[in-house]
Structures are given as structure tokens and as C-alpha cells.
A = this chain, B = another copy of it.
């Protein structure tokens, strides 16, 4: 990775993204309001808006009568500029969502496969069919699509040690691009969730945000000083594979003691098994259904289920305190199973106490928690939109070239 240098071109690019996000946040705005909102000069905002108008990214909405002085021209992100499609793909599950160019959701389709979809050709077929089905539901055509974002769990740069099977399509990205004849960008859910927070969530109000994702896998998307942290090879945020316990439980990644081995769905089940080896819920698939059943059992007074939920909250609080220690964020946005209201109610008091107690000094004293319903899908759409702006020459964001 090259040394970060702040070129004039990068500065223009960053300013364009700042204006774009401010306009998305405002819905309707004016050049003057955007200058106020961003702190950029009116002259800079006007130049940027001119560039965005030129490419149809932004549209004028007519003259607005102001309370003082001349009427000003209304501005809005041009939703009709085109469509952006996000596709989330695991080996048995696929979801595709069509967004307008202002990142408004238009239509979603889901697909489930009884058999794992593993061969690259089959995965590509599945993505193409899912994308077309979503476009049909959104009454859109492929010609309308400005960009496609593919969300793949797991490390995306090169084949990794404990690689989720679907990630193999990373190696066949060119074939996917050829099949679709559309610009395609691939990223992992951590970066997408962080990008969603930056474009549409807490990252618009705070400079330092960590979004944690708790599911079968566990990870974090990091926003520092208003930018998504990617690291040297786009693999920053793998909090799920940092240590909870040296030489602790074996993780599916091969390491021992990872956060994910305690806080992924399978890890929660293992905590139950350690609490009560004969408990009926220790058997069955490692799905969110297990977690629902666990909470139901806890609500019904099942002692082992209660102990497991509480122990899991202690693990989560301790693991979040590690993120506070290293990154000292203003907000932690919790997504995934722990954000479900039923977990939230039972676990959050324990989690808050533990984070406060375990964080260095008073680093967590003013820490806020949020429970956004957004997932990585709108984030990958934002990344695809950013990529489109890059193709137009409007943005020079440094991303790993291979993506």
C-alpha cells in the first residue's frame, strides 16, 4: 500500500463525498445549506454541486423562496439517475435488494437452497438469477443499473485459511462481471456495515463509530475520524478473531479463544453445553432459531438458559470493552442477534455494566449504544454508488485495487 498522500485531487474527492452524504442526509437542500452543514465554503460547494449536476448524480428541484434575499435553487440526490443492486450470498442463502440512486430501497428478493451452492459457476448463476429477479420486482432493467455490490462473508482479498466456500467466487470475479456486463464491487459485511453507518447512520453524527455484527460469524466495522478503516489489505475489523481467552475454545478459523467462539451462534450453544451438558437445546442446527428458543427458555425460567444468556452478556461486554480500549469510539452500533429486542432487554444492563467496568479509565463513560436495523445491504449499495462516482472520476477513494 502506498503512503497516504493528500493530493489536491483527493481533497476534491473527499469534499464531494462529504457534500453527497450531507445532501443524502438532508433530502432537500440548497448550496447555502450544504455549505453550513459541511463547513465548506459556498464557492467550494457550488463547484462540487456543478460537478455532481453535470453527471446527473444531483438534480435541481426548482427555485425555493427564501425568507431573506433572492430565492435559491433546491437540490436533491437524483434518485432516478439509475439503480444500484446489493446481493448478499452465503452457500445456502441469497438476498438481493434494488436501491434507487439516493439509496432508497425499492425491492428485495430472498432465495434459499437446500443444498450448499459451492461451485463458482453455480454461485455466479445464483447471483445472476437473484439480481434479475430483484430487478424484475423493482420494475427495473439491467440497463438502469449503475453498479452491483456483492456482500460475501469472510476475508475477501485472497483465498484464506478457513475460507467460507462461497468466497471462492472472489477468484472468478471477472466471469461474474462478464456475465452481468455491469460494474461489480465485492466487499465483506464488516466494511459494508461501517459504510452504511457512515453514509446513513451514526457515522453522520459521530466521527468515531464501531458497528459490531453478531451472527453465525462475528466482526466489526470501524469508522475513525469520519472514514471507514480498511487497513493494509482490507481486512481490518476482524474483532471476531481477536482473543477473548488465550488457549480458550477452538474457533472455526483455526485459532483458539477467538471472540467468535464465544459470541457466534455456535459459541452461544457451546456456553449452554458447558452450563448444562444434557440440555435439550444443545442439539440442533446453529441457526437464529436456536437463539430464539434459548431466550424463550430463559423467559420461562430455565436456569441453564438464563445462565447462558447472562454469561454471553458478560462475554460480549468484555469483548466490547476491548474495542473501547483500542479504539475509544463515541458509539457502538450493535447489529445481529444481540440487537433483537428480547436479547436487548435481558442482556443490555449486564453489557453496559461490564463495558463500563472493563474499559480503561473513563473511556466508556460517554459511550452510546445504538441498535440500527440496517445491515450491510445498504452499505454495499453505498460502496457500489461510491464506485460508480469513482468510475466517473468524481471520487478517488483509495480502495484495494483488486476489489
Interface residues of A, Cβ cutoff 8 Å to B:
1-8, 10-11, 14-15, 18, 38-41, 44, 154-155, 157-158, 160-161, 163, 204-208, 220, 222, 224-227, 229-239, 241-248, 253, 255, 257, 315, 318-319, 321-323, 325-330, 357-358, 360-363, 365-367
Q: 13 extra interchain contacts, Cβ-Cβ under 8 A, other than A155-B361, A231-B329, A253-B360?
A: A6-B14, A155-B360, A157-B361, A222-B326, A225-B227, A232-B328, A232-B366, A232-B367, A237-B328, A238-B326, A238-B363, A241-B360, A242-B321
Chain B residues in 8 Å Cβ range of A237: 326, 328
Cβ-neighbour of A160 out of B224, B253, B361 (below 8 A): B361
CA distance A155 to B360 in the complex (A): 8
Flag if A325 contacts B160 (CB, 8 Å): no
Interface centre among A8, A44, A322, A360, by most chain B C-beta atoms within 10 angstroms, is: A360
Cβ-neighbour of A39 out of B7, B315, B361, B362 (below 8 A): B7
Output the nearest chain B residue to A167 by Cβ-Cβ distance.
Answer: B361
CA distance A1 to B209 in the complex (A): 12
- Could you list 14 examples of A-B contacts with CB < 8 Å? A1-B330, A3-B226, A5-B226, A6-B38, A7-B39, A155-B362, A157-B362, A158-B362, A208-B232, A229-B327, A233-B362, A241-B325, A243-B245, A243-B321
Cβ-neighbour of A363 out of B231, B321, B360 (below 8 A): B231
Q: With A155-B363, A235-B361, A366-B233 in contact, do A326 and B208 touch (Cβ < 8 Å)?
A: no
Output the nearest chain B residue to A161 by Cβ-Cβ distance.
Answer: B361
Name the distance in Å between A122's Cβ and chain B's nearest Cβ: 24
Number of copies: 2
Interface centre among A160, A204, A242, by most chain B C-beta atoms within 10 angstroms, is: A242
CA distance A161 to B325 in the complex (A): 14
Name the distance in Å between A390's Cβ and chain B's nearest Cβ: 17
Q: With A244-B246, A361-B160 in contact, do A328 and B5 touch (Cβ < 8 Å)?
A: no
Interface centre among A6, A206, A239, A245, by most chain B C-beta atoms within 10 angstroms, is: A6
Cβ-neighbour of A1 out of B8, B163, B206, B222 (below 8 A): B206
Name the distance in Å between A187's Cβ and chain B's nearest Cβ: 14
Flag if A235 contacts B360 (CB, 8 Å): yes
Chain B residues in 8 Å Cβ range of A365: 233
CA distance A326 to B224 in the complex (A): 13
Cβ-neighbour of A3 out of B206, B255, B315 (below 8 A): B206
Flag if A255 contacts B41 (CB, 8 Å): no
Flag if A319 contacts B241 (CB, 8 Å): no
Flag if B8 contacts A41 (CB, 8 Å): yes
* 7 tightest Cβ-Cβ pairs between the two chains A and B: A231-B328, A160-B361, A155-B361, A4-B226, A7-B39, A4-B207, A242-B322
Flag if A15 contacts B6 (CB, 8 Å): yes
Interface centre among A44, A315, A327, A329, by most chain B C-beta atoms within 10 angstroms, is: A327
Flag if B7 contacts A40 (CB, 8 Å): yes
Flag if A243 contacts B241 (CB, 8 Å): no
